[in-house]
Copies of this chain bind each other. A is one copy, B any other.
Amino acid sequence: MNNEQKMLLTKERERLADFKDRGLKLDMSRGKPCKEQLDLSMGLMDVLTSKSNLNVNNMDYRNYGILAGVPEIKAIFCELIDVTDDEIIVAGNSSLNLMYDTLQRGMQFGVAGGVPFHKQEKIKWLCPVPGYDRHFGVTEVMGVEMLNVPMTSEGPDIAVIQELIKDPAVKGMWCVPKYSNPQGLVYSEKVVKALAALKPAAPDFRIYWDNAYMVHAVTEEGDTLTDILAEAKKAGNPDIVYMFGSTSKITFAGSGIAFVASSKKNIDDIKSKMTYQTIGPDKLSQYAHALFFKDAEGVYELMKKHQKILTPKFATVMNILAEELTGIANWQEPRGGYFVSVDLPKGTAKRTVELAKDAGVIFTPAGATFPYKKDPNDSNLRIAPSLPPIAELETAMRVFCCAAKIAYLETL
């Protein structure tokens, strides 16, 4: 460490001590919508009242029935993702639950007539990294071996994937294709087409296409994700993808509506087991959502309002990173989604989180963006700008940058 660096370290340590003195208590760890975003959907609470007619399509929506979801909400999702009524199941409040259950059915019953995974010697899964910690949690708890696939600026590295899927033990892959978690990038047309055309050794290989942020741009112009279900059909690979999504970050996180879409064959396969698990979803919540949105256009209009709230928060993160960490860390400007991914100097991510925590600001633990929570470089951190008000976000980001600089300087 040269003198200049020593002085900088001293300065940044004093600065962190000042933050500490302020008794901060900020939590930047999860991608939660903020109060103003949640307020956008309060109209959802008024669309159904005790005067509502809930006998729709000759079916009392208050009673049992309709395994795959009410037609009104299905129609809206079908338009948003361009599938037909028999290619989608609209379910409860959690797409994570749908993903977990889908993989679980693969474990227990096999995929579309295949051998149950738990009867196969070893099951492996492709995990683009950095990625979403809850995805990795699902495969980890099921005992599935996770293989890292590096991300490029266009999406996961196809050459690596093509090599790995020669192993018939590789049964699936996690993807967040639009505004990826955590980088906020969009898979390119080339990458989507290559994924749709994969020829895995395992016939029961499936891409888990978590379209969590399908309408969640933070730029005015937005982005178009190539339609993998259509491309898979064109490539003679109609069954290779399960697409998941929800309104958790459209209406209310935790009280939204989730769906899974795929080929009719895959959807029929899911229904054939789901019918033992439940009589049907909460149709009143589904119907209320449909009335609230009115149509797909209603979803887009709502998302424009989310965008107005989120865009300045992302800009705040970008500006402070640029001001404080240029030349030290690397990051991309997210085009949507809920996160900013920052690559700090090797070996400093854990220390950065620790220092920030010590100053009262919680960040997602280092390693969380990798399978088994193991970032081989101890470098990647995920920032979630959505929840705090801008003033708090600024403070939290200052603490983050200060901590990152100290952690870096300590390694010199």
* Chain A residues at the B interface, C-beta cutoff of 8 Å: 30, 32-33, 35, 38, 41-43, 45-46, 48-50, 52, 54, 60-66, 92-94, 96-97, 100-101, 104, 107-109, 118, 134, 137-138, 141-142, 248, 252-255, 273, 276-285
Could you show 28 A-B contacts with beta carbons less than 8 Å apart?
A: A30-B64, A33-B63, A38-B60, A38-B63, A43-B50, A45-B48, A46-B49, A46-B50, A62-B255, A63-B253, A63-B254, A64-B248, A66-B254, A92-B92, A94-B278, A96-B278, A101-B277, A107-B108, A118-B118, A134-B279, A138-B276, A141-B276, A254-B280, A254-B282, A254-B283, A255-B284, A255-B285, A282-B282
Which of chain B's residues have a CB closer than 8 A to the CB of A134? Answer: 276, 279
Name the contact of A279 in the complex, choosing from B38, B61, B94, B281 (C-beta under 8 A). Answer: B94
Which of chain B's residues have a CB closer than 8 A to the CB of A254? Answer: 61-66, 279-284
Give the CA-CA distance A279 to B52 in the complex, in Å: 31
Copies of this chain in its oligomeric complex: 2
Give the CA-CA distance A138 to B109 in the complex, in Å: 13
Which of chain B's residues have a CB closer than 8 A to the CB of A273? Answer: 141
When A and B form their complex, which 9 residue pairs have the shortest distance between CB atoms, in order from nearest? A42-B50, A62-B252, A255-B284, A100-B277, A38-B62, A141-B276, A93-B282, A97-B278, A64-B253
Which of chain B's residues have a CB closer than 8 A to the CB of A276? Answer: 100, 134, 137-138, 141
